[in-house]
Amino acid sequence: MFQKMLINGELVGEDTKKTTIGIVNPSTEKTFARVPKGTKNHINKAVAAAKRAFPAWSQRPISERQAMVEKMADVVSNNAEMLARLLSKEQGKPMPEAMGEMGWTEGYLRHYASLQPSGRMIQNDDEFKIEVRRVPLGVVAGICPWNFPVLVPFWKIGPALVAGNTIVIKPAPTTPLTILKILELCNSFVPAGVINVVCDENDLGPMLTNHPDVAKVSFTGSSETGKKIMASAAGTVKRVTLELGGNDPAIVLPDVNVKETAAQIYGGAFLNAGQVCLAVKRVYAHAEIYDEFCNELATLAREAIVGDGLQQGSSIGPVQNKEQFKKVKALIKSADKDGTIMTGGVVKGKKGYFIKPIIVRDVKDGDDIVDKEQFGPILPVIRFKDIKKVGKKANASDYGLGASVWSGDVSKATKIASGIESGSVWVNQHINIGPHIPMAGFKTSGLGVEQSGEGLDEYTQIQVLNVAK
């Protein structure tokens, strides 16, 4: 399979070994497709095309821009199974999760198509008409990760287009196929230059973030890369939205139903093989229920069916790529040294980056497995006794993306939750997100807002129109 890039409404790229990137199926470790290897020339052409398309696109009535985004949702819906199979092959996630990503993508696009940038009238009397307007920025660069390679690009494309911007998308090098395919299908009705996609080997990002004709960078990925993007964007004072890493705590009080809560936390930890920025990354379980809770989690982990995402019955797919597989294996060694691995580990004797879900107990704050973001199928459980102090433990992190508090007493849990330094804090649930709910991060977990009307406004500039009558 060879899937071309999209620049200025044209499919671009030559299928030769020197000019392409091989896409590996993480379940087999075999290359099954190729995409063009983008160059600086491709970046310049894509940005130039987006810049040329911007005046006409931004002047279109918002109803037409909304209708275009709605049509993109139709494309995803009408081709969901074919796209999900392609997604499963390149990303590794089981088909139910791949179909779920298609459903989420469609839903998010339809919601964006219903939004309008905010604005307000400050004064309108005999002397002045003073209006706060939200105007589009220009060319947006969307730099995307490999864990949700369809949903995240459309988190950027949807609001960017509705607000009146044009966009250049750079997908992750290991997962570009499905987004390229969708945008190829949309190319018949999206005006040339409004959406462009350039593939790379993680070498062209700085050119986008430095480019003088890029007005905004929207990045989803690691905190370390986010810091570099902020520095790179400073030269031209670009607008920046960063949705970065997390080390999301779940605090479990002693009055919970252990079996039910363990099942919910397990689901919140091991979705997409744990490769979710908002996934539960560390559990603080009260000493009164600690042993029982660890045992329930371990039982669920042992029951998981790890396998090829296209294999019926698989509940957990492989880690997405070789580099991440190495990082998770290093954390497994650290966890084995610092704590007790109750179950799980690297699946041996077969191809693929497979790891059986791992539950680690008897670990503490300060251990690598607790302090670092795993981004893989491994979950540490920390014992605590003092309910008044557990919030401080949860906050003792450079991250602040998501968190949850679990208790039979909702008022008690809500009081603890209100003190957690995190952009999203849930009570008796985890990863309850949606296109109408803002997503933001504290500390090194991000800057700005994604989703909702607040997220749409991030793709605009405030302009005050002040008219003397």
Please, what's the b/e burial string for 180-195 (b: 16 or more CB within 10 A of its CB; e: otherwise)? bbbbbbbeeebeebbb
DSSP 8-state class, residue 334? H
What one-character-per-residue DSSP string does 161-198 give?
A: HHHT-EEEEE--TTS-HHHHHHHHHHTTTSPTTTEEE-
- Report how far residue 56's alpha carbon sits from residue 378's, in angstroms, rounded to the nearest whole number: 49
In sequence order, the 6+-apart residues with CB closer than 8 A to the CB of 13 are 2, 4, 5, 19, 20, 35, 36
Positions annotated as catalytic residues are 243, 277
- Report how far residue 123's alpha carbon sits from residue 128's, in angstroms, rounded to the nearest whole number: 6
The pair phi, psi for residue 376, each rounded to 5°, is -170, 180
- Report how far residue 220's alpha carbon sits from residue 182's, in angstroms, rounded to the nearest whole number: 20
Query: Any idea how long the chain is?
Result: 469
In sequence order, the 6+-apart residues with CB closer than 8 A to the CB of 289 are 252, 254, 256, 258
The pair phi, psi for residue 280, each rounded to 5°, is -60, 125
- Report how far residue 109's alpha carbon sits from residue 15's, in angstroms, rounded to the nearest whole number: 32
The pair of structure tokens assigned to 335 is: 């966890």
* Cβ contact 322:418 at 8 Å: no
- Report how far residue 128's alpha carbon sits from residue 126's, in angstroms, rounded to the nearest whole number: 6
- Report how far residue 279's alpha carbon sits from residue 260's, in angstroms, rounded to the nearest whole number: 18
* Cβ contact 357:268 at 8 Å: no
DSSP 8-state class, residue 310? T
Q: What are the distances in angstroms from CA 121 to CA 3, 62, 133, 457?
A: 48, 19, 9, 16
* Cβ contact 297:266 at 8 Å: yes
Q: How far from chain centre, in Å, is Cα 163?
A: 21
